Chains A and B, each alone.
Chain A
Amino acid sequence: MKTTECLIVGAGPAGMRAAKRLLDAGAEVTLIDRSDMLGGQLTKQTHMFFGSEKQHASKRGIDIMQLMIDDIVNHPKLTVIKNATVVAMYKDRVVGYVIGETYHRIQANAIVVAAGASEKAIPFENNDLPGVYAAGAVQTLMNVYGVKPGHKVLMVGSGNIGLIVTYQLLQAGVEVVKLIEAADSIGGYLVHASKIKRLGVDIETNMSVKRAIGKDEVEAAEIWRLDEAWQGIEGTEEIIECDVICMAVGLAPLTELLQQMGAKIMYVRELGGNVPVIDKDHRTSIERVYACGDMAGIEEASSAMMAGEIAGLSAAVDLGYHVENYEDDVARLRHELSNLRDGPHGEKIRLGLKKLGVLS
């Protein structure tokens, strides 16, 4: 069986920043990802990022990704395993992964889990018809592979992902017929909402999908108004002609691997569902196993970068490395994180982290 000093599961913004901190400290790192490229969700983020200069604000996600890759990729102590899906994690820090049809194992002294999240879906009649997509998939098709997902899109969900993917669909020359939101107000940043509205995409709140219509693929969507209890109101149905129903209805942390390993898990609605119980240094309940990024609670990529750094620093210290300015760096990162979470859009995450016991 292969061994490594520190294994990082997931090469997105959290995982890559954790890798950088561990490599800087002198650790030997193996970075494993299911994709054939590094970057995680950043591979398709063509828009400019928010935040401050410390999180590369105003740069595009794909360019931030390249900076992070360049930062680590040629490091002599880094091993990258791509196209590898981690399928098992055990308490003795043995990790099983599959490449093609072959099962491999690797044992690590420390593991940083930054596996990300999966997209949620909503139930409605015919939601298995071709043409019903999750927004992340639409973004991958367009921005990674250059494939148009369809011609006329109904967007469902007004969080930042729904708003941003709508804008990127318009950039790709795809018509977005309408954006509907089940809540009574827009979930994401209003600047993103204004950006699509002025280009002619109507946003309607208190609306959801009743059913998809079509024989072999989506030909239309039936939408309806929701009451205060989020139940559809009979008689308010409207048929929207479209060939894509794109769901941007939230993300769920991919906690299953840590669950299997026996780590303490807690359901925190505000963080997206089941999350590992972590301390403020991102240590899980299992010794030398850390969690960061969306897997530890759904947030923006900028926060994932900061959290990844903290997790990487914790792992480096626990592995016995002396980290220059450790206390100062961690204090600064915590300060930057709280700055990102301080506004009204950070309310949910603050509440979730309090439930988890990370914030007081």
Chain B
Amino acid sequence: MIEKTGVPSEAQIKSCFPEKITLKKPKAIIECYKEIPCNPCDTSCPFDAITVPEDINVRPSIDFDKCTGCGICVYNCPGLAISVMQLKDGKVSMKIPYEFTPLPSQGETVNVMNRAGEVITPGTITKVQRTDKMNKTALLHVEIPDAYLYDAITIEVKHGSE
């Protein structure tokens, strides 16, 4: 139960996803399960796909027809609660926010974690985006087998030297 553990239920997770056919194109998956006063997802979206009404406590809603999966909301969300998912050739291509150093490099194999913090599969870093306007939150592109579509959420943080 998310209120006790921080882990959303399967039903909660799936409620954030569109149908699989829609995921042939990349789409933002917004996991904002409880009302908090916050709206940067709405204001940062260049395609007007995400809506938070005048009362900013209302949870965001997304129009998957308008969402291009650009990932701008991913690094603007203060709760790091948004990822982008795409199904392509038996794989999931995900874009996730990442705020740890060192950053992984392109081509690197990393451990991919689920929402309970368990390692579920290796994944491949296909791209690392980090520009000034991203305000220190990097966007990692990670490729994993499509069986993990509803499970994968982040990659393991490996700590190097002190």
Contacts and interface: CB of A to CB of B under 8 A. Distances in A.
B100 interface: yes
Interface string A19-32: 00000000000000
A198 B34 contact: no
B16 interface: no
A47 B40 CA distance: 14
Given A52-B56, A171-B99, A201-B117, A194 B6 contact: yes
Interface stretch (A102-110, A184-192, A288-296): A184-192
B159 A57 contact: no
Contacts of A57: 38-40, 43, 78
Interface string A251-287: 0000000000000000000000000000000000000
30 contacts: A48-B77, A50-B36, A51-B39, A52-B38, A52-B40, A52-B56, A53-B39, A57-B43, A57-B78, A58-B76, A58-B135, A60-B135, A63-B135, A171-B99, A173-B159, A173-B162, A190-B33, A191-B81, A193-B2, A193-B5, A194-B6, A194-B7, A194-B115, A195-B80, A196-B6, A197-B117, A198-B116, A203-B4, A205-B4, A344-B57
B6 A190 contact: yes
Interface string A62-77: 0100000000000000
Contacts of B153: 198
A346 B4 CA distance: 19
B36 A58 contact: no
Contacts of B57: 339, 342-344, 346
Contacts of B137: 48
Interface in A202-216: 202-203, 205
B36 A171 contact: no
Nearest to B73: A58
B113 A198 contact: yes
A194 B36 contact: no
A186 B6 contact: yes
Nearest to B154: A198
A345 interface: yes
B62 to A, nearest CB: 16
Contacts of A346: 37, 57
B31 A170 contact: no
Contact of A189 (B79, B100, B162): B79
B149 interface: no
Given A196-B6, A200-B117, A191 B40 contact: no
A345 B99 contact: no
A51 B135 contact: no
Nearest to B153: A198
Interface string B1-31: 0111111100000000000000000000001
Interface in B135-159: 135-137, 153-154, 157, 159
A198 B114 contact: yes
Given A190-B34, A201-B117, A342-B57, A49 B78 contact: yes
A1 interface: no
A208 to B, nearest CB: 15
A313 B56 CA distance: 25
Contacts of B43: 52-53, 57
A198 B2 CA distance: 12
B69 to A, nearest CB: 19
Contacts of A186: 3-4, 6
Interface of B: 2-8, 31-40, 43-44, 54-57, 76-81, 99-100, 113-118, 135-137, 153-154, 157, 159, 162
Given A58-B78, A191-B79, A191-B81, A198 B115 contact: yes
A229 to B, nearest CB: 19
A268 B136 CA distance: 39
B37 A50 contact: yes
A195 B153 CA distance: 10
B39 A52 contact: yes
Contacts of B4: 184-186, 203, 205
A325 B16 CA distance: 43
A50 B78 contact: yes
A189 B37 CA distance: 10
Interface in A29-65: 47-53, 57-60, 63
A50 B31 contact: no
Given A52-B39, A59-B135, A199-B154, A194 B56 contact: no
A340 interface: yes
Among A200, A203, A341, A344, find the residue whose CB has the most chain B CB atoms closer than 10 A: A200
Nearest to A201: B117
Contacts of B37: 50-52, 302, 339-343, 345-346
A344 B36 CA distance: 7
Contacts of A200: 113, 117-118
